Structure 1
Amino acid sequence: MAPGLPTAMDRPHFIGIGGAGMSGIAKILAQRGARVAGSDAKDSATAEALRALGATVHIGHAAAHLADDASCVVVSSAIREDNPELRRAAELGIPVVHRSDALAALMDGARPIAVAGTHGKTTTTSMLAVALTELGREPSYAIGGDLDAPGSNALHGAGEIFVAEADESDRSFHTYAPEVAIILNVELDHHANYASMEEIHESFETFVGRIVPGGTLVISADHEGARELTRRLDGSVRTVTYGESADADVRVLSVVPQGLKSEVTVELDGGPLTFTVSVPGKHYAHNAVAALAAGVALGVPAAELAPALAAYTGVKRRLQLKGEAAGVQVIDSYAHHPTEMTADLEAMRAAAGDARILVVFQPHLFSRTRELGKEMGHALALADASLVLDIYPAREDPIPGVTSELIIEAARAAGADVTAVHDAAEVPGAVAGMAKPGDLVLTMGAGDVTDLGPRILDRLSN
């Protein structure tokens, strides 16, 4: 059975409780009986979902929001040292716990599957959570995005399996001790924390070293960064590779597009196995194969798990259909790294046929734009036309000379039709002026570009 409530976390206070990772941990703790409280910069449906579970959620950050008897304060790497609640915790001597340590405590005593990689973590974690739930396994899970409603990014289940997204961005995935680890791909990203691919590989090696004795690593046989990581391992961990490569242990024989779905055939245990993935694109099909291999490594029969994976129909912000107006479909994409952008645009191109694809792209982070702006521009060349917004700063301060113009120049050099838009309020009107019946519009990026989808639909309707 799943473990209970860690004693030191029976009265936690979360700074930034509305965030994707933080809210999931808060939800599980509330479901286990903790007295959960926290604060966030703005109110949201996620905050309201936590309140429905009995949590106290304050809007804004103030020292008075932290109760004197809080057992710990949970923070992410995005919380700055001058946060008034963090300073108050120091005055009161209340322990400060990183969210990764909190999640590791929740997984203690369970059979954890930790999903890592530069791209695809949220999708793969969601696929496993949905499929295992479909099979009645009652897993616990913590995902970096909502499945179908605010607060659906996490659950305390009665079963023994715990599926969790393992974030490499700040090396916090070194905290976990999984029975099964998935590594989808290994690329240089998060440039504020990693200076080179060597540092990235060292970090992933440390993560692999955290797999419990007798555990299993499931890793891509196709992605060069993952193959290099496999070559660097000492062989002490059982490794299962997956992909289209001839030497893959779980070999992908075919991915056949069927509208917004795919039919996937793999060779597993010497024989073919065919199943449906209910989202478009080869990269999502490969995510499903990784999920299948991980579940099998944990003892779930492949013949049961494969058809159950079809129950996954998407997660918010991962090629999520926001609606249709005037014959134009508006789809939301979380893609913010060039590899993700290319994968989503290729998936939509395969599913859309002759339809035009229009993109509203918002770059995420100054450091990422500085390092990968050229590649982002090249990815946008896959669209028929794009609007590019100013950079969403998130946790970063501006970097002199780094603007969206780096992306726009690269896109135009690659032959793309790209227009700069500095005021997001102008986007709905601009899209309405461009779009024709049958077109697909993608709002793309990890920032607040997602908020534009409903506004574009409203403008198209009028």
Structure 2
Amino acid sequence: MNNPTNGSPAGSLASLGNVHFIGVGGVGMSAVARIMVARGVPVSGSDAKDLPVMADLSAQGARIAVGYSAANLGDARTVVAGSAIRDDNPELAAAREAGLPVLHRSEALAATMGEDTVVTIAGTHGKSTTTSMVTVLLQGAGLDPSFAIGANVPALGVNAASGTSDIFVAEADESDGSFLNYRPRIAVVTNVEADHLDHYGTAEAVYESFDRFTALLPAGGLLVACADDAGARALAERTRSRGNTRVLLYGTSEDADVLLHDDGPGSVAVSIPEGRFSLALQVPGRHNALNAAAAFAVALELGVDPAAAAAALGGFSGAARRFELKGEARGVRVFDDYAHHPTEVRAALTAARSVAAGHKVHVLFQPHLFSRTREFAREFAAALDLADTALVLDIYPAREDPIPGVTSQLITGHMAGGGRLAAAGEAVALIADAAREGDIVLTAGAGDVTAYGPRIVEALRG
């Protein structure tokens, strides 16, 4: 079930009463629950498995259960259901039978924002990283924003918190259209490409949803858009033509308001009318330099001194599953990345090339969704050809049923000599055997391929 909401408005935080989360162990669900608990809302929740975050929520005062049962609803007045929760879930069925409002995660998060100054970060790629950068930057500059991020962030310790300032920074997910539930004053759009066509149907519908997103900005609100991305630039031009929203461009294009200078690791800076400011980034890749420029632009809008903003970006060490180092053995570093769109795979492999510094790059890629594989097989192949060795696992189905004729061979059939299919049982050994001292190994995809990184490190040690 993609969207469990029954269409009821979220209302104010106080109007929700006791809130029960079905699937509370999910990264996005736990983020909202954590903020609600911190803001004094009575919270309960359940999940099929006993996940570490559930113990954290319990310690904060939430009533948490393992396993699903209608009795878990207790005295809940509002229910929040995760996107993976099916209609036959006993708690969801009981909530609907009782006539309780059933909210999407984004509706519940919107209710927690209240009258805060809301900064939302949207885009086909880079949302979690950019949201994390904005949050780390603001904290480093002496502010204490509330935040909700779709990934764990080592520099923050958690993926969500209720801060003491009136600023709320949130990742805004376009995959199911739920980013339209927020009311931002500042909206960042990192890029706009066709994706999630299982939900939208056409590329045009994706673009139209971003138009609706920027239309949510109030008079005098600000759109921060990437000048280097054709989709984001076109969105900025359409938004500017409406006349009631300010637009700020960032990137390497000469007309960017925040001009990025990226000459490789250690040589990243931004220029604004006040001067040029060096960015001491810990994360590699042009895409991360662009994300940093976006975070810098948001900080300026919120009144942060440019020098302080630039310095604070040095505190960002990355987000979970975003070019995350999983280990090193025999002089081979193994990274993991959530990349599941051709543009993301290309960006991750380009970053890997810069880190490899002349050595080889080996990638183990797991396609995510049959529909995405069907739509972008050629583009995935072209991106994976950037690696010296590219092994492709079977498709991770996630929420989809198989589509006849759609397999990982659609990708490997378009690849050059370094690419081939790999069975799950042989992939670790093949990658470990190919890697030599100084090489980089990357596991990539939104499925369970993330579990292969530690196994590759162990194989290298063996």
- Normalising by structure 1, report the TM-score: 0.93
Question: Could you tell me whether the CA contact under 8 Å between 2:223 and 2:236 is conserved in 1?
Answer: no
Q: CA deviation at 1:386?
A: 1.7
Given the superposition, is the C-alpha separation of residues 41 and 410 from structure 1 closer, same or farther in structure 2, using an over 3 Å criterion? farther
Q: Deviations over 1:68-92 (max 9, x none)?
A: x112110243333222211111122
Q: CA deviation at 1:271?
A: 2.6
- In the alignment, structure 1 segments of 5+ residues that lack a partner are none
Alignment of 1:182-221 (within 5 A): 182-221=188-227
Q: What is the aligned partner in structure 2 of residue 417 from structure 1?
A: 418
Alignment of 1:230-379 (within 5 A): 230-233=236-239, 234-252=242-260, 254-258=261-265, 262-269=266-273, 271-379=275-383
1:110 to 113, 116, 124: 116
Output the CA distance in 2 between the equivalents of 1:372 and 1:137.
42
Question: Could you tell me whether the CA contact under 8 Å between 1:11 and 1:72 is conserved in 2?
Answer: yes
Q: CA deviation at 1:176?
A: 0.8
Given the superposition, is the C-alpha separation of residues 457 and 57 from structure 1 closer, same or farther in structure 2, using an over 3 Å criterion? farther
Output the CA distance in 1 between the equivalents of 2:202 and 2:101.
33
Output the CA distance in 2 between the equivalents of 1:354 and 1:65.
56
Output the CA distance in 1 between the equivalents of 2:364 and 2:47.
27
Query: Secondary structure of 1:273's match?
Result: strand
Output the CA distance in 1 between the equivalents of 2:153 and 2:107.
24
Alignment of 1:34-113 (within 5 A): 34-67=41-74, 69-113=75-119
Query: Secondary structure of 2:263's match?
Result: strand
Amino acid corresponding to residue 186 of structure 2 in structure 1: V
Amino acid corresponding to residue 41 of structure 1 in structure 2: A
Q: What is the aligned partner in structure 2 of residue 441 from structure 1?
A: 441
Question: Could you tell me whether the CA contact under 8 Å between 1:389 and 1:420 is conserved in 2?
Answer: yes
Question: Could you tell me whether the CA contact under 8 Å between 1:384 and 1:416 is conserved in 2?
Answer: no
Amino acid corresponding to residue 441 of structure 1 in structure 2: V
Alignment of 1:380-419 (within 5 A): 380-411=384-415, 415-419=416-420
How many pairs align? 449
Task: Tell me how large the CA RMSD over aligned residues is.
Answer: 1.8
Question: Could you tell me whether the CA contact under 8 Å between 1:74 and 1:99 is conserved in 2?
Answer: yes
Q: What is the aligned partner in structure 2 of residue 165 from structure 1?
A: 171
Q: Deviations over 1:127-182 (max 9, x none)?
A: 01111111221111000100028971101111111100011111111111111100
Query: Secondary structure of 1:257's match?
Result: coil
Given the superposition, is the C-alpha separation of residues 376 and 139 from structure 1 closer, same or farther in structure 2, using an over 3 Å criterion? same
Question: Could you tell me whether the CA contact under 8 Å between 1:27 and 1:151 is conserved in 2?
Answer: no
Amino acid corresponding to residue 429 of structure 1 in structure 2: A
Question: Could you tell me whether the CA contact under 8 Å between 1:8 and 1:72 is conserved in 2?
Answer: no
Output the CA distance in 2 between the equivalents of 1:358 and 1:306.
33
Q: CA deviation at 1:457?
A: 1.6
Query: Secondary structure of 1:229's match?
Result: helix
Q: CA deviation at 1:230?
A: 2.1
2:129 to 103, 115, 123: 123
Question: Could you tell me whether the CA contact under 8 Å between 1:46 and 1:151 is conserved in 2?
Answer: no
Output the CA distance in 1 between the equivalents of 2:47 and 2:364.
27
Amino acid corresponding to residue 447 of structure 1 in structure 2: G
Output the CA distance in 1 between the equivalents of 2:281 and 2:442.
21
- In the alignment, structure 2 segments of 5+ residues that lack a partner are 1-11
Output the CA distance in 2 between the equivalents of 1:276 and 1:151.
21
Output the CA distance in 2 between the equivalents of 1:440 and 1:321.
10
Q: CA deviation at 1:276?
A: 1.6
Given the superposition, is the C-alpha separation of residues 160 and 296 from structure 1 closer, same or farther in structure 2, using an over 3 Å criterion? same
Query: Secondary structure of 2:270's match?
Result: strand
- Normalising by structure 2, report the TM-score: 0.93
Q: Deviations over 1:27-72 (max 9, x none)?
A: 11122233322222333333333333233433343333332x1121
Q: Percent identity?
A: 50
Output the CA distance in 1 between the equivalents of 2:148 and 2:229.
25
Q: CA deviation at 1:288?
A: 0.4
Q: CA deviation at 1:426?
A: 3.3
